[in-house]
Amino acid sequence: MPLNLGLLNSTTTNPPTPTSDHRTLGTALDLFSTSRFSPGSPLFHPDGAHVFQKLQSFLRAQYVTFGFREVITPTIYKQSLWELSGHWENYKDDMFEVTGRGAAGGIADGKKIEIGEDEKYGLKPMNCPGHCLLFKSQKRSFRDLPIRYADFSALHRNEISGALSGLTRVRRFHQDDGHIFCRPSQIGEEITKTLQFVGLVYGTFGLGPYKLVLSTRPKDQFMGTVEEWDRAEAQLTEALNKSGREWVVNEGDGAFYGPKIDIILKDSDRKEHQTATIQLDFQLPQRFGLTYQAPAPDLESKGLTTTDPELLAHSGDVIPVIIHRAILGSLERFMALLIEHYRGRWPFWLSPRQGIILVVGEDKRVTDYAEKVVNVVNRLRANDDKPRPRPLSAAHFTIDIDSSGRSIAKKLAEAKSKRYNLIFVVGPKEAAAETLMLDLTGQPHTKRVMDMLKTLPLSDPKLDNHRAVVMKARDLQGIMRLLCDKFW
């Protein structure tokens, strides 16, 4: 059942504990930086780019389950497209304008543009108009729907400079944008699947609890009929009830083009953030003239079905419904939440510093052994004069080697301060026996990992102490794969 909206403001009467600032952690962990030469556009360092790309890869892996196909769309479009979509009228102040050369002519700002005359363009602040162009590029049948597009293209929004902050308020960002073009009768099922997608993702990251907010029809300005809104809101309500999650109603706060569900996430410091969103859109398909062919079009447009052969004998155009959905929202903003949530102690599968081998002493044979271990784990051939292409399925683990002449105590302290998940120590004894001594202190879920190791058919392991696990080097790759597969 829906709850009182005031419950969402619980953190205002119970101030959260002091948070870890993602900007400070981002610098300390060498994840990202900013520059006065491009305000609001973060520069991701190699470790930050690693996390960013892992987030994208994780979502791409789930797209197979939820039926999304990834697309790539332009960064800039003519002003005339933004006028068609309504963004130029309603969003122009938040867009970046650029000028193209040698325009093909047309109408902009109510003025005729001659062929060869420069025309204004806009950097896209969102992907939906481009996805409408994709849908319209072919004739569609009711049998084709739902069509689900996903897009990681960079977006640009001209935020005022005083509001910019780290990764949470930026001008250039990437959204895990998705648009579902569906029949009116498919809305409820698609919303249910999207809520399942949200639950799967947030559960994997250990984020939550989160709440769901249903925003309903505005009192005055809205697109479509009251009947369409009532039907859509009923489908959203049914999907929310099926989700088993706590949810609230925010009366009259829907977008003018349709009702929406916002996901409110409570982080580890009990502060609430809006992240994911699911929005129904009746307006954009009409503005772009999107249609699909279906029998009994009048009933189809109302989400109704019939078995009457006379009605089914007539086919016609029907306007699809668009469901805008973002699971993580802005990847940059989501990364900021994860940085503060994990405080640098990343799950192994997401970590940019999965392991490091600390070499005892300065014996070259031990250093060579450490390098051999890294090559074996990543299935690389040492000193290969004729490298072959690696298969796309090949795993790559980020394992560094510290063979400096410092004491092992100093190396160990530095490795822990850099938040390495797995810290290996090798000396002449380990090199001779082809073993590794493993310290699991930096790995989340240490007890679960130790319990897992005890169930594996390892070669003569020593598992008495999580700070001094002894194993054969040949067993390491399998263990790392399991840690990734379990999202630990």
CA distance 391 to 389: 6
Phi/psi at 177 (nearest 5 deg)?
Answer: -75, 140
Summary count for the chain: helices (H), strands (E) = 17, 24
CA distance 488 to 352: 14
87 is catalytic: no
Of the residues 87, 324, 325, 411, only one is catalytic, namely 324
Structure tokens at 18: 């002091």
Entry field: residues in the chain: 488
Smallest CA-to-CA distance from 422 within 399, 405, 403 is with 399
What is the DSSP code string of 217-267? Answer: --SS--SS-HHHHHHHHHHHHHHHHHHT--EEEETT-SBTTB-EEEEEEE-
79 is catalytic: no
> Whose structure tokens read 């505005």?
218
Of the residues 177, 267, 402, 439, only one is catalytic, namely 177
Whole-Å CA distances, 206 to 1, 337, 342: 25, 12, 10
Of the residues 47, 128, 217, 354, only one is catalytic, namely 128
Structure tokens at 443: 């790995």
484 is catalytic: no
50 is catalytic: no
Smallest CA-to-CA distance from 192 within 146, 134, 157, 158 is with 146
410 is catalytic: no
**b/e code 319-345 from CB counts within 10 Å (16+ = b):** bbbbbbbbbbbbbbbbbbbbbbbbebe
CA distance 321 to 316: 16
**3-state SS, residue 64:** helix
Of the residues 50, 78, 156, 260, only one is catalytic, namely 260
260 is catalytic: yes
Of the residues 50, 131, 156, 157, only one is catalytic, namely 157
60 is catalytic: no
Q: Which H or E element spans position 369?
A: helix 364-377
Of the residues 78, 79, 169, 175, only one is catalytic, namely 175
Q: Active-site residue numbers? A: 128, 157, 175, 177, 179, 260, 324
